[in-house]
Amino acid sequence: MFKGSLVALITPFRDGKVDEKGFQSFVDWQIAQGTHGLIPVGTTGESPTLSHDEHKRVVELCIEVAKGKRPVIAGTGSNSTEEAISLTKHAKKAGADAALIVTPYYNKPTQDGLYAHYEAIAKAVDIPIVIYNIPGRSVVDMTVQTMARLAKLPNIVGVKDATNDLQRPVRTKLACGDKFSLLSGEDGTALAFLAASGHGCISVTANVAPRMLADMHEAWQKGDVKTAQRINETLMPLHEALFCETSPGPVKYAASLLGIGSDEVRLPLVAASETARQRVREAMQSAGLLNESAPRRKAG
């Protein structure tokens, strides 16, 4: 079962290309900081604008550094089932521990279509699969009932729930069982998600506050609720700031303040505005993060 603080990794660019050395240095730092799991090429990793070759290479780069030290859950989703199968096959071959597969965006499949999509991938590739349910970006919401049907397949093992509906984790646990990993996809409600039967969070904020978030989850697991609450309260302004504009613009700027790459993103996204930068900078300072030790290699 996946649990704790898992990071939805940004993909650093240098002059429009993936900064491979910078990315691997970043992954190594995440491990040193205590992050419990690594997710390359999710939405935060700008998977929609990476070529297939770049996508596969980023997965490989992450696995090379992780080397069994931390689980790697590779983003392999697509709104084409055949493409998702192809990317998932590559992730398995490369040595990923699991695949994170987003509900098909734009197509707006029915619940039966969602079931058929994941069933086809699960049957084609023998790898643990985490469903990524994010209605705000994919414009389709997988119901608990559909998820319960999928949970009966042996390699559908959990969900990244970005619905922000705090009834969902309890309802999903009751429908899918205790062994189904319940991972929040929303930093701002992650602690409340844990209190509602959740196991962890696939986090954007962990890109820049990995140690604090690892500490928060570990405190929760030990029953130290006060420490978990204190960390959550300290980071709440940063959680909000990192989504004041479309992600990953703000978090890439936040990472650049730590010397982790540049704030370069790919069109149609643009770098965070000056208003957003100021808000992010103030939140980083408030959280005490700008003095943190981080990889200082610039990627741009």
Letter for the amino acid at 98?
A: A
3-state percent helix, strand, coil for the chain, nearest multiple of 5: 50, 15, 40
Distance between CA atoms of residues 299 and 21, nearest Å: 9
- Global pTM reads 0.95
Buried b (16+ CB within 10 A) or exposed e, 162-179: bbbbbebbebbbebbeee
Neighbour count for residue 71 (Cβ, 10 Å): 16
Residue 261 falls within a domain, yes or no?
A: no
Query: How much is the pLDDT for 194?
Result: 98
292 falls in which pLDDT band (50, 70, 90)? low
Helix (H, G, I), strand (E, B) or coil at 17: strand
Please give the pLDDT value at position 293.
52
Q: How confident is the model at residue 300 (pLDDT cuts 50, 70, 90)?
A: very low
pLDDT digits (tens, 9 = 90+) for 128-137: 999 999 999 9
Quick one: how far is CA 257 from the chain centroid? 21
Which domain covers residue 47, as residue numbers? 4-222
Q: Which of 115, 132, 173, 253 is the catalytic position?
A: 132
Q: Is residue 85 part of a domain?
A: yes
Rounded to whole angstroms, the Cα distance separating 277 from 240 reads 13
Mean pLDDT of 227-255: 98
Q: Is residue 229 part of a domain?
A: no
Handedness of CA 60, 61, 64, 69 (dihedral sign): negative
Query: Is 21 tagged catalytic?
Result: no
Q: What is the pLDDT of residue 1?
A: 84
Structural domain contains residue 243? no
200 phi and psi angles, rounded to 5 deg = 180, -170
- Residue 201's pLDDT band, with cuts at 50, 70 and 90, is very high
Terminal Cα-to-Cα distance of the chain (whole angstroms)? 37
Distance CA 283, CA 113 (A): 42
Nearest residue to 132 via CA among 165, 110, 164, 99? 99
- Using the predicted structure, report yes or no on whether residue 30 has a pLDDT greater than 70: yes
| Residues 199, 184: Cα–Cα separation, whole Å | 8
Average pLDDT value for residue range 128-156: 97
Cα 233 to chain centroid, rounded: 21
**252 has catalytic annotation:** no
pLDDT grade for 295, boundaries at 50, 70 and 90 = low
Q: Does 291 have pLDDT greater than 80? A: no
CATH number at residue 74: 3.20.20.70
Percent of the chain with pLDDT over 90: 96
- Please list, in sequence order, all residues whose beta carbon lies within 8 angstroms of the beta carbon of residue 101, skipping any fewer than 6 positions away: 75, 76, 77, 84, 88, 118, 121, 129, 130, 131, 132
- Which position among 3, 160, 173, 252 bears the catalytic label? 160
118 domain-assigned: yes
Give the total number of structural domains in the chain. Answer: 1
With respect to residue 82, please indicate whether it lies within any of the assigned structural domains. yes
In a domain, 291, yes or no: no
Q: Which two tokens stand for residue 241?
A: 């700031």
206, 7 contact by CB (below 8 A): yes
Residue 75 domain-assigned? yes
Share of the chain above pLDDT 70, in %: 97
* Residue 112, burial from CB neighbour count under 10 angstroms (0-12, 13-18, 19+): exposed
pLDDT at position 125: 98
Regarding beta strands 156-161 and 200-203, do their DSSP bridges make them parallel or antiparallel, or are they unpaired?
A: unpaired
Contact 26, 62 (CB under 8 A): no
